[in-house]
Structure 1
């Protein structure tokens, strides 16, 4: 039997939904099903999104200006950075697209982020940094730039 237009629209909407883990400041994480579009992601984090890799097939989106906007500190990452504001954990499907988390990934990240963490504004600000360097000439700048690229390539070979 042929499907109605409404059934087709419902099925298309279902395909665009993602099962994700939402981690809000001062709260335990929870599983949610969200629309897989930019507007929904931006609404969830309260602004423009930033992609942050957790491991080879898992990442999260957070507010790219969370620290500048003074959003609450949420969780500390392995590198010592503190995420400000809500973040949404997703899976990468192997082609660069977002995908729903597996049950195992949900369990893993529910455990990892289960305890809400409290941070002062100062602690969050202390993890924000920018490095500014000045050079005496364009030659010095180019030398430093290419030396840094060589170091990055050496690290990738390890």
Structure 2
């Protein structure tokens, strides 16, 4: 059966799965449930206990809100599931192409779509934009200097969105690290994004190549005591 598969933190993709119950359950990681957000004869097959079991958040779906765990879109023929047409595969893959990350802000829970060019299926357009940004992501979570506040930074902007630490016992630094892992952001990129958001995107400090794997500035040239030898 030809479907569109949407998994947390991954680009949506066309896939072939069996139409037996065991294959359907394997695709979503447990008991299945169905959602019917559109008039077209298609449905979303998702995990019935995704939220209860704490599965990773996946995508926001109109009329249903956020779905947790993997899901797929397939066709409906009478009382049975069936393959999508090629046109439907293209339509729904485009609709759910980019992964989403869910954020807690002062305005409530929101989500944003993002690109991670290291993931399979990354669009060429996203790869081209990544190169134009000198190897920086579009979004990044940073710690506001002098505070314990995690903030969302967007490339090219001199502003930020404050985020809330929601997980019990999680420190702000851990929140930032967790979100950046979801976004595919390295510590080098995080350091460069922080400086760029504060002082401008064309300064040397906004170049991720200037930092090591821990996000610390690389040493350039010999130290003073070395030069005296």
Shorter-chain TM-score: which interval?
0.5 to 0.7
Aligned positions of 1:84-99 closer than 5 A:
84-93=68-77, 95-99=78-82
Q: Counterparts of 2:22 and 2:103 in 1: how far apart (Å)?
A: 30
Please name the residue that 2:48 is paired with. Answer: 64
Which structure has the greater CA radius of gyration?
2
Please name the residue that 1:140 is paired with. Answer: none
Q: Counterparts of 2:74 and 2:22 in 1: how far apart (Å)?
A: 16
Larger proportion of helix: 1
How many Å apart are 1:78 and its aligned residue? 1.5
Please name the residue that 1:81 is paired with. Answer: 65
Does structure 2 retain, via aligned residues, the 8 Å contact 1:19–1:101? yes
Report which structure shows greater RCO (CA 8 Å, sep ≥6). Answer: 1
Tell me how many residue pairs correspond in the alignment: 106
Does structure 2 retain, via aligned residues, the 8 Å contact 1:73–1:120? no
Question: Does the alignment pair 1:108 with 2:108?
Answer: no
Alignment TM-score, normalising by the size of structure 1 = 0.62
Return structure 1 stretches of 4+ with deviation > 2 angstroms: 120-124
SS in 2 for 1:67: coil
Q: RMSD between aligned alpha carbons?
A: 1.9
Please name the residue that 1:153 is paired with. Answer: none
Does structure 2 retain, via aligned residues, the 8 Å contact 1:53–1:60? yes
Q: Counterparts of 2:90 and 2:109 in 1: how far apart (Å)?
A: 28
Please name the residue that 1:29 is paired with. Answer: 12
Q: Counterparts of 1:91 and 1:82 in 2: how far apart (Å)?
A: 21
SS in 2 for 1:36: coil
Unaligned runs of 5+ in 2: 111-229
Does structure 1 retain, via aligned residues, the 8 Å contact 2:37–2:64? no
Alignment TM-score, normalising by the size of structure 2 = 0.44
SS in 1 for 2:37: strand
Q: Counterparts of 1:80 and 1:46 in 2: how far apart (Å)?
A: 20
Does structure 1 retain, via aligned residues, the 8 Å contact 2:2–2:17? yes
Please name the residue that 2:2 is paired with. Answer: 19
Please name the residue that 1:152 is paired with. Answer: none
How many Å apart are 1:123 and its aligned residue? 4.5
Does structure 2 retain, via aligned residues, the 8 Å contact 1:72–1:119? no
How many Å apart are 1:54 and its aligned residue? 3.0
Question: Does the alignment pair 1:43 with 2:55?
Answer: no
123 and 70 in structure 1: CA distance in 2 versus 1, 3 angstrom threshold: farther
106 and 38 in structure 1: CA distance in 2 versus 1, 3 angstrom threshold: same
